[in-house]
Homo-oligomer: A and B are copies of this chain.
Amino acid sequence: MIIDCHGHYTTAPAAHTAWREEQVAAWQAGTTPPPYPSISDDEIRETIESSQLRLMDARGVDLTVFSPRASAMAHHVGDAAVSLEWARRCNDLVHRVTTLFPDRFVGVAQLPQSPGAPVEGSVAELRRCVEELGFVVCNLNPDPGGGYFQHPPLTDAYWFPIYEAMCELEVPAMIHVSGSCNPAMHATGGYYLAADTVAFMQLLQGDLFSRFPNLRLIIPHGGGAVPYHWGRYRGLADMLKQPDIETHLMNNVFFDTCVYHQPGIALLADVIENKNILFGSEMVGAVRGIDPQTGHYFDDTKRYIDALDISDHEKHMIFEGNARRVYPRLDAILKERGL
């Protein structure tokens, strides 16, 4: 079974996206946004079948852990009330996808974070998504300000309320920033990878998993710069008199495979223990084109893993086994189905 841990609903119905613009305009004008539009099941089916599902089928992906579009979370826009309303709409929409295609999608919660707002405000929506909508993980934005890194490190007590809820609910988080409002910071080419890298170093400096031994965090985009600089991190752990990374972090931190060329994936699988690698593609997403060097889509990351010189068991763990361990609620859903 092939589980893609990193898919975004980037082809959401136009009415959904248009409503968001109206919501933001209303907030800016100090007025009330229009009611959320009615969107038919057929519209949702169409947006899924023509893109995400078509690509999943073409590439042999059975199930996608599916979230609202990450760059559109835009926690830096509006205030906490705007973010809450938007998160609920996005999560409800993803829930409809998971209801229409229950065998192919499980949901990821967008949290209603807002710059400087206490993260407590996200706990209720996380709980709703997990307990009522059947979601198995959330996206936690380490920089809800949108590109200026003005929030406390992930090891700070600021974040503890959401970690406590995650541990109680048995859901992990993918540490995923949203769009950038910083003109110096391109979202998918600069900000995402910078934030991934910075997040890992925050964890290395701290001692978060002593306090939350069951907390599990996925750092997307192949862990940012981290595997490429694994020697630097091993050395820094030593210099900072921290325990070695394997025992300090790697029971709780996982990297996905959203790295869009064979040499990158080869390095990832070479340097990082395969138990810490989750298959992901980030599609339909950051990079949509076909690599002229291979003739295949850049983000068809399954091909890169298929081509690795590792055992079938290791591939199975990257494609399925690790995900079932890291997302216990996903494992429970699959077991219920006899899978």
| Interface, chain A (partner B; CB < 8 A) | 142, 147-153, 182-186, 188-191, 193-195, 197-198, 200-202, 204-205, 221-222, 224-225, 227-236, 238-239, 259-261, 263-264, 266-267, 270-271, 286-289, 291, 293, 298-299
Q: Across the interface, which residues of B come within 8 angstroms of A200, CB to CB?
A: 190
Q: Are B183 and A190 in contact (CB under 8 A)?
A: no
For the complex, what is the distance from the CA of A291 to the CA of B287, rounded to whole Å?
36
CA distance A329 to B289 in the complex (A): 42
Query: Which of B233, B260, B293 lies in contact with A232, CB distance below 8 A?
Result: B260
Chain A at the B interface: SS class: helix
The residues of B that contact A188 with a CB separation of less than 8 Å are: 232, 236
Contacts known (A184-B151, A239-B287); A205 close to B189, Cβ less than 8 A: yes
- C-alpha gap A298/B237 in the complex (Å): 12
Provide the residues of chain B in CB contact with A266, threshold 8 Å.
Answer: 267
Chain B hits for A288, CB < 8 A: 235, 239
Shortest Cβ distance from A221 into B: residue? B229
- Provided the pairs A238-B289, A287-B232 are in contact, do residues A198 and B184 lie with their beta carbons within 8 angstroms? yes
Please name all residues of chain B whose beta carbon is closer than 8 Å to the beta carbon of A299 when the two chains form the complex. 235
Whether A264 lies near B198 (C-beta < 8 A) is: no
Asked if A229 and B259 sit within 8 Å, CB to CB, the answer is yes
Known: A190-B201, A238-B289. A260 touches B185 (CB 8 A): no
- Whether A263 and B271, one on each chain, are in contact in the complex, defined by CB atoms closer than 8 angstroms, is yes
Contact of A198 among B185, B230, B236 (CB under 8 A): B185
Provide the bound-state CA to CA distance between A152 and B185, in Å.
9
Could you jot down 25 A-B contacts, CB within 8 Å? A148-B148, A148-B149, A149-B182, A149-B185, A150-B184, A185-B198, A186-B236, A188-B236, A189-B233, A194-B225, A221-B232, A224-B225, A225-B228, A228-B259, A228-B264, A230-B261, A231-B259, A231-B261, A231-B287, A232-B286, A234-B291, A235-B260, A235-B289, A266-B267, A267-B267
Which residues from chain B contact A264 at a C-beta distance below 8 Å? 228-231, 267, 271
CA of A137 to CA of B59 in the docked complex: distance in angstroms?
48
**Given A189-B204, A263-B271, CB of A235 within 8 Å of CB of B197:** no
The 4 closest A-B pairs by CB, nearest first: A231-B261, A231-B260, A225-B225, A235-B287
CB distance from A18 to the nearest CB of B (A): 23
Task: Report Cα–Cα, A298/B142, bound state, in Å.
Answer: 30
From B205, B228, B235, B270, contact of A222 by CB (8 A): B228
A229 to B299, CA, bound (A): 12
